[in-house]
Amino acid sequence: MRRKNLIITGKGLNVTNSVEAVVNNTPLQLSQTALRNAARSRRLVEGWIERDEVIYGITTGFGEFKDVKISARELELLQRNLILSHSAGTGKFVPEYITRLMLLFRINSLSLGYSGVRTDLLKRLVLLFNEGVVPLIPSQGSVGSSGDLSPLSHMALTLIGEGSCRYRGEIMSSADAHMILGIEPFRLSAKEGLALINGTQMMSAYLCKSVYDSVILCKLADIAGSLSLEALKGTSKAFDPKIQRVRPHKGQIRTAENLRRLLKGSRIMLSHKDCGKVQDAYSLRCMPQVHGAVRDTVEYCGNVIKTEINSATDNPLIFPETGEHLEGGNFHGEPVALASDFLAIAVSELGNISERRIARLVDGNLSGLPRFLTDKGGLNSGLMIAQYTAASLVSQNKVLCHPGSVDSIPTSANQEDHNSMGSVSALKLYEVVNNVRKIIAIEFLCACQGMDYHRPLKSGAGSEEAYRLFRRAIPHQSRDEITSDLILRSAEAVYDMKFLSAIERKCGGLH
């Protein structure tokens, strides 16, 4: 069946359709509006060049060289030199799907028609995306304004046949990729190099993917928490809607509703209804308040990134409706930097509270379960060290959550004297999210092991389905195994989208 194209208008992207376009290799198609808008702004650029007007980045140098006038015959070389000189990145390469998100976002931004590029440039970028050509981009080197200059320059290298890329599963020179495609490397014209690299697309790509993953993590944290509550013979009283109604944060209300759905009909809870326990520990009782606050933060950051990826973020911007070019600072990454730092702090809290539940599960004095959830303690250490791993990841996240956005180092001889460090914030966020994914997987491993000791009693509708699916992938550990393998298999099981979908079919959609 023919795949449906994603139509690029400059305004239609969101977190979900962006990530899914990359994951599903959805072809892009430029809308007629995008082509028309680009052509209008390009006509203005060409008119200014003909009249030999002095315009930053079009007929002048860049940054501190803003006052150096460039002759008409050197304008193409100016743009090429810009890409070569600004390709100064270092460090590990950006993951392939992040690079493809960067390319998608750059195409979308240029399609708004405020950048003065030719329609041929837009079409070539779309061709590279659709053909699966992935530039190799070092992840370090951006200070977050004038945007992600260095990473985007490495992306532009592939366009002009320089640098390296991944194509058809192989790393090769960009020149070789062009030969295989049967096309010549693209020749940049006036303004086009600057338009390609003045923007926030790397930090935006990391934030977008992190928001997407965090939406799923919030649901899985609720599911893992419900399993831990069942294993620890907790109560669902704290999730009563009356409690949430008198402190009506949206995320708190939604989390409590999720937990009620997951726990509905639990026979385990009925079995200890009159046990005399007054209330549970915070890591169980306060899930609506903690998970809910994270949910609200994810929603806020999702709105920030939706605005950002549908914005014109280069400089100068060209306004065909008034015939103006305006020098400004839309490339400054502060909105993305602050959101990335905020989300890192929030998501780390999912890991913090999850680790506390893990610690309770393995502590026989607190849980009432076999110590370290093993049948023959002493001979077996059980899941003792799984909690160490979770604690290590939590500790690392505390370091990573120091906000990058509070730092600024001036660049370009103090012409660019305040930088957002948004790429630093976004890279840290991405690492925090991946750490929390592992912590949540460890909680599933421990909670399901704890649930085993309450069989044949069944848990709630959603938690029972989660337990059943998890146990289909990872059986009860009756003797010691390589724990890292168990953690890896746990992550593979719970982050398979079929896992979440099956649970939601059983108990209803989760927020």
Distance set, CA 86 to CA 55, 92, 187, 285 (Å): 20, 17, 17, 52
Cα–Cα dist 493/479, whole Å: 21
Identity (one letter) of the amino acid at 377?
Answer: G
Q: Kindly state the helix (H) or strand (E) to which residue 386 belongs, with its residue range.
A: helix 384-400
Residues recognised as catalytic: 56
Length of the chain: 511
Cα–Cα dist 92/90, whole Å: 7
* Burial environment of residue 290 by CB neighbours within 10 A (0 to 12, 13 to 18, 19 or more): buried
- What count of other Cβ atoms lies within 10 Å of the Cβ of residue 306? 17
- What count of other Cβ atoms lies within 10 Å of the Cβ of residue 379? 9
* Helices 334-362/422-452 angle, 10° precision: 20
- Beta strand spans in 124-208 (E): 134-135, 138-140, 164-167, 170-173
Cα–Cα dist 205/99, whole Å: 8
User: Is 343 in contact with 429 (CB distance < 8 Å)?
Assistant: yes
Cα–Cα dist 296/268, whole Å: 31
Q: What is the DSSP letter of 416?
A: B
User: Is 263 in contact with 313 (CB distance < 8 Å)?
Assistant: no
Cα–Cα dist 416/404, whole Å: 17
Q: For the chain, what is the largest distance between any 2 Cα atoms, rounded to a whole number of angstroms?
A: 87
Nearest CA among 105, 155, 149, 150 for reference residue 135: 155
Range 403-412 contact pairs with CB under 8 angstroms and sequence separation of 24 or more: 403/341, 403/345, 404/337, 404/340, 404/341, 404/428, 405/334, 405/337, 405/338, 405/340, 405/341, 409/143, 411/63, 411/143, 412/63, 412/64
